[in-house]
Structure 1
Amino acid sequence: MEDENQVKARALVERLLSVPEQAAEFIDDNVSSALPPGSTIVEFGPHGTAYWTKTLEIKAIQASGTPLKYFLKVNHTHAGGQVLEGEFASLEAIHRLLPDFVPKPIAQGSYASDPDVHFLLMEFLDLRGDVPDVDSLPAKLAEMHLKGTSPNGKFGFHLHTGPAFLQGKYGQSITWSSSWEALFTSMYIPVFHWEQSMHGKDDEMQTLFKSMIEKVIPRLLRPLETGKNKIRPCLLHGDLWDGNTGTDASTESPLIFDPASFYGHNEYDLAPWNLPRHKIYRPYIREYQRHFERADPKEDYEDRLLLYRQ
């Protein structure tokens, strides 16, 4: 039998997933006002699939006659709006650094017709139906990591960029920290509490969680910031599995999207590539290492990737 926390957690997920159908059946005034002045929307409709949002393609024409295409994401609830705010900030950070690596973010906000419905508008990019090539994505990601330095030299971000279910009560902390170990720990704890709220308490899992916090995380991350070792905070995508990548159909260059960015250890972004079920896997990690060397101590590298998979 589910306890009160499980009931509340499942209710939260159900509400986040139940984006009103009518929210994607028209273009709200706050969305249309974000288009270039004089633009006319000529067509819009569903495009692609997403777990937490409704997604649409918008076709418009500028006053000059130039055709435009946009991608619109729509969700609802306060937590959902915070997720889109975080994604917009993430896209802005990456686009400033490497404008050909992500869609250009245009606007983010709430519907004029319903303040509980939120949107994210970005440029529409035509994609090829495959993951980026092993010769292109790792090099581009390494370039982002090498160039994307933290504005204040610390780990973290200026707002929350994680999943909707880690908003509010489960408040995953992405606030600024001078320590990668401290930031990672503050991100890890709410994930465990969320899983516990969904599946119920388990004594063995509680014991393992205590060991992770007190032993495993310090053992693997503290050496990265001890003695001569000093990793620097890099701009991360934050959720770089193959479903969040693509190839630009016109330029054939790699693209990434749906970021949940923050400044952290660059190896964090490689963790999803260590899963055999993904299309982007170990060869991509090996290619990445040609552009960004493993951190010291190198003998802990594989264990760090396992930890970052969390």
Structure 2
Amino acid sequence: MKLDSAVVALLGLDADNTSVSSAGGAGMSSACTSKITTKQPNGENMTYFMKTGKGPEAEAMFEGEHQSLNAIHNAVPTLCPRSFGHGRLTDAPGKHYLVTDYLDLSGRLSSTKSAKGMSLAQKLAKLHTTPAPTPKGYDKPQFGFPATTCCGDTPQDNTFTSSWADFYANHRLRFIVHQSKKSNGADKQLEDLVEQTCTAVIPRLIGDDHLNNGKGITPVVIHGDLWSGNASVGKLPGMTEPEDVVFDSSACYAHSEFELGIMKMFGGFGGGFLDEYHQLVPKTEPVEEYADRVRLYELYHHLNHHALFGGGYRSGAVSIMRELVGKYGKGGRDEL
């Protein structure tokens, strides 16, 4: 298979000494993945990973993943591949590409430490203790992200916001219930519960004047879609032994505990993961509300899966919201 001339130019490759082969699935249904192998002047092979897809959906997804991977890689270089670029293919009109480091996967994460280097808990802790950069035009770090990112196939609104509570209410929960309405039709009970959660639970549980004894929280980069299928053991360029790594990111600048919502929803990170992680990243104050905050953050992913797939994810979302509104909503269970 011949490599598109746009990618040849991006990477500065010799097309006559470069080949392309299939690399399996790609997460989004319309995307294809490939392995690029090129022979360098010294005779050694170098490899890259490429995704390709059609239309504006692929263009937006690849731009978001490009910026996501590099935001994570810049903070913790051994945690994920770096992205070299994205854009339109020259020889295949209407198609787009993303090119990253090739990640040589060797196995799934396990509950026992088998990889070399820092553990996933240590790498994630480093990521979650690195303050987000200050966006151009702002005087301090913001919650959000400079590009639209996709969680699954859902494009997320990452408009910069100074308040974490406002960002989570408007750009995650209200946004995703609107997506669900477009996918599944109107659902008054679900919409009312989301609104109660946004107006009553969020200010009480993650309000800016409530977290950390009123000091608020610092935005940090999170992966954003860190279920166990997006974490593995493998080698990035420069690694001599496999290490814990992640991929297929949907990053944003957020509360570090937001990362833990989807990790709790699907599990698979081993019983000791959180113990090791929280030795390095203490739970946000008030600590006694930590489990409820993680449930609140897990809620977004139930709603997103309901928007994408319908079915049983609705009941999980409703259960979480009833529990939290009953505990933190004004008037408690009488409002349900």
| TM-score, normalising length: structure 2 | 0.77
CA shift digits 1:191-223 (9 cap, x unpaired): 111112211212221221221221122222105
The answer to whether residue 193 in structure 2 is matched with residue 208 in structure 1 is yes
CA contact (8 A) 1:38 1:63 kept: no
Q: Per the alignment, do residues 202 and 104 of structure 1 end up closer, same or farther by CA in structure 2, a change over 3 Å counting? A: closer
**Secondary structure at 2:129 match in 1:** helix
The corresponding residue for 1:149 is: 132
CA contact (8 A) 2:34 2:51 kept: yes
The corresponding residue for 2:269 is: 280
Q: CA deviation at 1:182?
A: 0.9
> Could you tell me which of 248, 252, 256 is aligned with 1:258?
248
> Could you tell me which of 138, 147, 150 is aligned with 1:159?
147
Aligned residues: 281
**Secondary structure at 1:193 match in 2:** helix
CA shift digits 1:32-53 (9 cap, x unpaired): 2222343644432221312312
Q: Distance in 2 between matches of 1:228 and 1:205?
A: 31
Q: Distance in 2 between matches of 1:132 and 1:281?
A: 7
The answer to whether residue 258 in structure 2 is matched with residue 268 in structure 1 is yes
The answer to whether residue 229 in structure 2 is matched with residue 240 in structure 1 is no
Q: Distance in 2 between matches of 1:236 and 1:27?
A: 33
Aligned-partner residue type, residue 9 of structure 2 = S
Q: Distance in 2 between matches of 1:224 and 1:247?
A: 38
Gaps of 5+ in 2: 114-118, 135-139, 301-336
CA contact (8 A) 2:111 2:272 kept: no
CA contact (8 A) 1:57 1:69 kept: yes
CA shift digits 1:233-260 (9 cap, x unpaired): 1111111111111112542321111111
Q: CA deviation at 1:165?
A: 4.8
Q: Which deviates the most, 206-215 or 128-137?
A: 128-137
Q: Distance in 1 between matches of 2:104 and 2:154?
A: 31
Q: Distance in 2 between matches of 1:57 and 1:229?
A: 47
CA contact (8 A) 2:3 2:15 kept: no
Q: Distance in 2 between matches of 1:37 and 1:31?
A: 8
Gaps of 5+ in 1: 1-24
Aligned-partner residue type, residue 201 of structure 2 = V
The answer to whether residue 221 in structure 2 is matched with residue 221 in structure 1 is no
Q: Per the alignment, do residues 183 and 134 of structure 1 end up closer, same or farther by CA in structure 2, a change over 3 Å counting? A: farther
Q: Per the alignment, do residues 113 and 75 of structure 1 end up closer, same or farther by CA in structure 2, a change over 3 Å counting? A: same
Over the residues paired in the alignment, what is the CA RMSD in angstroms?
A: 2.2
The corresponding residue for 1:36 is: 12
Seq. identity, %: 28
